[in-house]
Amino acid sequence: MADSTQILSGDAAVALAAKTCGVTLGVGYPGTPSTEILETLASIGGNAEWAPNEKVALEVASGVSLGNGRALVTMKHVGLNVAADPLFTLTYMGVNGGLVIVSADDPGMASSQNEQDNRNYAKFAQMPMLEPADSQEAYDLTVKAFEISESFHVPVLLRMTTRVCHSMGIVKSGALQAFTPAPYVADAKSKVMIPANARRAHVRLVHVMQDLAKWNDANALHTVFNPASEKAELGVITSGICVMHTREAAPSLPVLQLKMTWPLPMDAIRKFADSCKRVIVVEEGSRFLEENLKAAGIPVEGKEEVFEYGELSVGRVKKLLAHDSSPMEAGAPGRPPALCPGCPHRKTFELLHELNLIVMGDIGCYTLGVLPPFQAMDASECMGASIGLGLGLRRSLGDTPEARRVVSVIGDSTFLHSGLTGIVDLVYNKPATGHVVLLLDNGTTAMTGLQEHAATGFRLDRSPVKPIDLEAVCKSMGVDNVDVIDPVADHDEYSALLQKRLASDDSTVIIVRRPCLMQMKKLAKMARASEVK
């Protein structure tokens, strides 16, 4: 592949850069706005696979790196919570082959349950972080991230946000790098994290981060727009998509763009701050830059509380620069999301509503069961939580008729992601009144755009594979009753079965199986396309 110029989304640019670097494996779990990275990598001939969850994805990537291969790990922001356990020790172990973790954050919660700011993970887990502002930078900084990872033997966080992931821009790419992993060499002293080794590894990591801070200052991973010839009245320090917003909101202001936002290039920042009478930090989400600059004694101004919530825009940045916290003019109201017409989940939520049950929900299309006309969900926390929530609520309610109204509802992809251990608890610590889990098996990961998973029978590249048998898994764990039902064809039986199981003291999983209509449509389209070929 020679140099080329294309119009790409930030996600596609990351995929192209990974391909350019000869990445051995791209691995992750779907999640908006990161999903397209691995889909694109597979489509341009890279090796990409869906892991069952983000923790496994990072562990697989760690193994690739241990074998001197290069690994790209992709996930949405909340995925990094799931992967946090391996992450915090991987930074101690260090990496052999380059390892880049993409965290796609969702300020404003376009499609997420929270808007946590994952820049804080870079500081907390001690790893360098790069933040692209557009598709070209997404490409360039991915290549740079692999270089940094291999030079300093650390995983690198590439922190993106929705607008950078999904906006299109011109990307000039370089020639494909030839990359062959070096032979594996065992090094238990730095890779087996018993306390004696981990103590040493912690010191190494702190020193590597100090070296990286110096490297960041020396290697100019920052740009000054409109540098002040004499002391400017006002300057801005910013990163990521806020660079674009700021340059449009205030085209003539001096702006320091930081591309590597951890560890920070304090000398460069001090120099910039000295060139301005006042400096404002423009950042979405938490006060990551503001707090760290103030802690370093750099006198910067922060933002009003209102700018801690949601995405920034050109209009909001204008207000932020003016310390104006008055509300923005309200835009046209958005159309609320809804389950598709013909969605098989509809039958379940009609039934849950009709039976007036207490529903512990999970994350997927079916979370929309909380909205009218169903209004049949009482709680939803994070992926896989429906089962634990249900078990805990039954504990609180004791042996009462109310406890028998509690059901947990979880989708097939979410079940494999983090519902399995909930089933272990259902069997191990079964409440006095038993419990009922509805496993909504629509044969896909619908919410994030119809991705395959381990029970669909196909891998990310649509090559066939033996599917996980959900029924056999639940039976082998010792669940008392494992039922399978079609919510549309067997609607009346579904109601009778659910009521019967709720009345018993058994542990029950009802696999509610009917394919997602959108997935059927996608498969039909793919079949037609392959006929045309």
Ligand X SMILES: Cc1ncc(C[n+]2csc(CCOP(=O)(O)OP(=O)(O)O)c2C)c(N)n1
- In the complex with ligand X, which residue's Cβ is closer, 78 or 156? 78
Q: How far is the CB of 416 from ligand X (least distance, A)?
A: 8
* 445 contacts ligand X (rule: CB under 6 A): yes
* 446 contacts ligand X (rule: CB under 6 A): yes
Q: How far is the CB of 427 from ligand X (least distance, A)?
A: 21
Contact 146, 153 (CB under 8 A): no
Query: Which range of residues in 36-44, 287-295, 359-367, 474-482 is near ligand X by CB under 6 A?
Result: 359-367
The residue from 98, 390, 411, 431 that contacts ligand X (CB under 6 A) is 411
* 385 contacts ligand X (rule: CB under 6 A): no
The residue from 9, 29, 317, 369 that contacts ligand X (CB under 6 A) is 29
Q: How far is the CB of 135 from ligand X (least distance, A)?
A: 23
- In the complex with ligand X, which residue's Cβ is closer, 81 or 508? 81
Query: Which range of residues in 27-35, 169-177, 258-266, 461-469 is near ligand X by CB under 6 A?
Result: 27-35
- In the complex with ligand X, which residue's Cβ is closer, 316 or 345? 345
* 394 contacts ligand X (rule: CB under 6 A): no
The string of DSSP codes covering 74-96 is EEEHHHHHHTHHHHHHHHHH--S
Distance separating alpha carbons of residues 289 and 129, to the nearest angstrom: 13
* 406 contacts ligand X (rule: CB under 6 A): no
The residue from 442, 456, 507, 508 that contacts ligand X (CB under 6 A) is 442
Q: Total number of residues binding ligand X (CB under 6 A)?
A: 23
- In the complex with ligand X, which residue's Cβ is closer, 258 or 410? 410
Beta pairing, strands 406-411 & 358-360: parallel
Query: Distance of alpha carbon 472 from its chain centroid, rounded?
Result: 30
Distance separating alpha carbons of residues 377 and 374, to the nearest angstrom: 8
* 52 contacts ligand X (rule: CB under 6 A): no
The string of DSSP codes covering 193-251 is --HHHHHHHHHHHHHHHHHHHHHHHHTT-EEEES--SS-EEEEEEE-THHHHHHHHHST
Question: How many residues are there in the chain?
Answer: 533
Distance separating alpha carbons of residues 14 and 102, to the nearest angstrom: 9
Distance separating alpha carbons of residues 1 and 230, to the nearest angstrom: 47
Q: Which two tokens stand for residue 215?
A: 């490297």
Query: Which range of residues in 316-324, 328-336, 438-446, 484-492 is near ligand X by CB under 6 A?
Result: 438-446
Site string for ligand X, 179-218 (x = CB under 6 A): ----------------------------------------
Binders in 60-89 for ligand X, by CB under 6 A: 76, 78-79, 82
Residue 483 φ/ψ, nearest 5 degrees? -110, 150
**Total Cβ atoms within 10 A of residue 301:** 15
- In the complex with ligand X, which residue's Cβ is closer, 96 or 448? 448
Q: Which two tokens stand for residue 520?
A: 């059927």
Reference 116, options 288, 272, 251, 356; nearest CA is 288
- In the complex with ligand X, which residue's Cβ is closer, 127 or 446? 446
- In the complex with ligand X, which residue's Cβ is closer, 50 or 152? 50
Contact 527, 350 (CB under 8 A): no
* 366 contacts ligand X (rule: CB under 6 A): yes
Contact 89, 231 (CB under 8 A): no
* 101 contacts ligand X (rule: CB under 6 A): no
- In the complex with ligand X, which residue's Cβ is closer, 364 or 388? 364
How many CA atoms lie less than 13 Å away from 481 in the CB half-sphere?
20
- In the complex with ligand X, which residue's Cβ is closer, 212 or 512? 512
Distances (CA, A) of 359 to 9, 404, 414, 487: 38, 11, 16, 17
* 31 contacts ligand X (rule: CB under 6 A): yes
- In the complex with ligand X, which residue's Cβ is closer, 13 or 455? 455
* 383 contacts ligand X (rule: CB under 6 A): yes
Binding site for ligand X (CB under 6 A): 29-31, 54, 76, 78-79, 82, 363-366, 383, 411-414, 442, 444-448
